[in-house]
Amino acid sequence: MKHSPIIFFVLAILFIGCKEDVLPKPKAMLRLEYPAATYVQTNLDCPYVFDQNTLSEMKENKDCSLEVDYPMMHGSIYLTYKPVHGNLDTLLIDAQKLSYEHVVKADNIIEQPFINQDHGVYGMFYEVSGNAASQSQFYVTDSIQHFVTGSLYFYAKPNYDSILPAAMYLQNDIRRIMESIRWE
């Protein structure tokens, strides 16, 4: 068969010529979008109330400490209430110390003071960036009777890039809690 080397050559060119170049896929970013937040005022048997996102579920613990759970985002905001009995300095030091315990894993911690003189609410919001256990911390007080601290935690190993969209959404909710808190 005289044509077999020619057929072999044509088939070899077809197989080699049809091969596509292998290119690495570009890195993709997962786009997480959450519904717009709607809020209702909490109805607690506690010395404070605030606006709660309707996407969250409230779990009330003893001493007016709360867990505001966000099942869709696998995270919670933990609120702890303490009455002030001449121990405001100690409560402030403890709240600040709790926030800075994350400095080991955090890339940065940004402090944002909060003042609402009309309703007697003063505090600090800590935005934590990096692979820290908590992405946000805060405290609010009236400086006389009430002190509330809050922390945001996710139910996953901290990976800042992965949880950033949920962390930003929940940081907005924390700011709303701080802005809407009223002492009873």
**Could you read off the pLDDT of 76-103 as tens digits, one per residue?**
999 999 999 999 999 999 999 887 776 6
* Residue 71 resides in a domain: yes
Residues 125 and 116 sit within 8 Å (Cβ to Cβ): no
Give the range of the structural domain holding residue 51, as residue numbers without chain letter: 39-183
* Residue 14 resides in a domain: no
* Residue 101 resides in a domain: yes
Residues 6+ apart with CB under 8 A from 67: 58, 59, 61, 76, 77, 78, 79
* Residue 6 resides in a domain: no
* Residue 174 resides in a domain: yes
For residues 172 and 18, the model is more confident at 172
Q: How many domains does the chain have?
A: 1
State how beta strands 57-60 and 75-83 pair: unpaired
Residues 50 and 41 sit within 8 Å (Cβ to Cβ): yes
Work out the pLDDT band at 59, boundaries 50, 70, 90.
very high
Mean pLDDT score, 121-127: 95
Per-residue confidence (pLDDT) for residue 18, from 0 to 100: 54
* Residue 3 resides in a domain: no
The CATH number covering residue 113 comes to 3.40.1000
